[in-house]
Amino acid sequence: MKILIANHYEELCKLSANIIKEHVQAKKDAVLGLATGSTPVGLYKQLISDYQAGEIDFSKVTTFNLDEYAGLSPSHPQSYNHFMHEHLFQHINMQPDHIHIPQGDNPQLEAECMVYEDLIRQAGGIDVQILGIGANGHIGFNEPRSDFEDRTRIVKLSESTIQANARFFGGDPVLVPRLAISMGIKTIMEFSKQIVLLASGEEKADAIQKMAEGPVTTDVPASILQKHNHVTVIADQKAAQKLKKASYL
Ligand code: GLP
């Protein structure tokens, strides 16, 4: 696991955008795995400005998002589908049929999960997967004690994640869906050729320390990334402040 410590959030965004940009420049039909949450918003902003500057072309790129709330239609303002269009897709030249996000309002949710997993397999896996991290160490919506063998499936959100994500629902936790579809840990580990995990802010400092330096345990789902052979963690100084090994700095 390579750990880069950015001086501030803007630098984190620039470093991660450069990884994607270089990848897409070298492989025009790259498959990208994308994440939601506030952390990648600045990365997407940077990618939009790189696109506007003519430095990156998304016309042949395919994307797969990590997760989506169950029960929300793609047009629901709090759906991850809506989030991705607002923060990235509507500003760049992606082909609409190259964008993949689980459909949260599919009445056949289990079938949706299986089809999604198959679509990633058929695409040949994911070249670069962007991940955020929950304060409890979750990746995607794989909450603590998710099985490391899990594939894309329906998941129950933990109480702490419901509270943390309530800010996107006008601050009201009651409005946060209790279920979601998420790529599983096995999906992420097996299908991602390269993983870039982003973390910003002191509320992520414990999770980052446990992920990188603690035991590999389902109590901290992100700790499994220690077993992946191509992971780059980009953390700002606040998120990195509890790391013990000075060699990262
Ligand atoms: C959500 C998403 C995760 C994301 C996490 C952290 O729960 N499902 O993929 O990593 O939030 O979000 P933030 O970046 O807003 O802290």
Task: Respond yes or no: is residue 228 known to be catalytic.
Answer: no
Task: Respond yes or no: is residue 136 known to be catalytic.
Answer: yes
Report the nearest-CA residue for atom 12 of ligand 1: 37
Q: What confidence tens digit (pLDDT) does each residue in 136-167 have?
A: 999 999 999 999 999 999 999 999 999 999 99
Q: Which residues line ligand 1 (CB under 6 A)?
A: 35-39, 66-67, 132-134, 140-141, 161, 165
Work out the pLDDT band at 247, boundaries 50, 70, 90: low
Report the nearest-CA residue for atom 13 of ligand 1: 37
Work out the pLDDT band at 245, boundaries 50, 70, 90: confident
Whether pTM exceeds 0.85:
yes
Task: Respond yes or no: is residue 91 known to be catalytic.
Answer: no
- What pLDDT is stored for residue 189 in this prediction? 98
Work out the pLDDT band at 235, boundaries 50, 70, 90: very high
Percent of the chain clearing pLDDT 90 (strictly above): 98
Mutate to test the pocket of ligand 1, among 36, 78, 234 (most ligand atoms within 8 A of CB): 36
pLDDT of residue 25 exceeding 60, the answer is yes
Work out the pLDDT band at 57, boundaries 50, 70, 90: very high
Please pick, among 67, 68, 117, 127, the residue that the annotation labels catalytic.
Answer: 67
Could you write out the three-class secondary structure of the chain? CEEEEECCHHHHHHHHHHHHHHHHHHCCCCEEEECCCCCCHHHHHHHHHHHHCCCCCCCCCEEEECEEECCCCCCCCCCHHHHHHHHCHHHCCCCHHHEECCCCCCCCHHHHHHHHHHHHHHCCCEEEEEECCCCCCCECCECCCCCCCCCCEEEECCHHHHHHHHHHHCCCHHHCCCEEEECCHHHHHHHEEEEEEEECCHHHHHHHHHHHHCCCCCCCHHHHHHHCCCEEEEEEHHHHCCCCCHHHC
Q: What confidence tens digit (pLDDT) does each residue in 168-224 have?
A: 999 999 999 999 999 999 999 999 999 999 999 999 999 999 999 999 999 999 999
Average pLDDT, the chain: 97
- What pLDDT is stored for residue 248 in this prediction? 59
Q: What is the mean pLDDT of residues 69-83?
A: 97
- What pLDDT is stored for residue 242 in this prediction? 96
Task: Respond yes or no: is residue 86 known to be catalytic.
Answer: no
Q: What is the mean pLDDT of residues 45-72?
A: 98
pLDDT of residue 249 exceeding 70, the answer is no
